[in-house]
Amino acid sequence: MRKQADSSAPLADLIAERWSPRALDETGEVSWDQLRSLVEAARWAASFGNTQPARYLVGRRGDPTFQRILDALTDRNQSWAHRAGALLVAVMVTRNEKGEIPYAEYGLGLAGGNLALQAVHEGLVAHQMAGFDPEAIRRDFAVPPEAVPRVAIAVGVQGEPEVLVEERAVTRERAPRRRLPLAEFAFTGSWGTPTWSPPPAG
DSSP per-residue codes, 13-82: HHHHH------B-TT----HHHHHHHHHHHHTS--GGG---EEEEEEETTSHHHHHHHHHB-HHHHHHHT
**Digit-coded pLDDT (tens) for 23-76:** 999 999 999 999 999 999 999 999 999 999 999 999 999 999 999 999 999 999
Q: Which domains does the chain have, with CATH numbers?
A: 13-167 (3.40.109.10)
- The structure's pTM equals 0.92
Side by side, the strands of the sheet bearing 147-156 are: 54-60, 86-93, 147-156, 125-129
| pLDDT confidence band for 176 (50 / 70 / 90) | confident
What single-letter DSSP state applies at residue 83? T
Which helix (H) or strand (E) segment is 84 a member of?
none
Rounded CA-CA distance 36/42 in Å is 10
Per-residue pLDDT of 77-86, as tens digits, reads 999 999 999 9
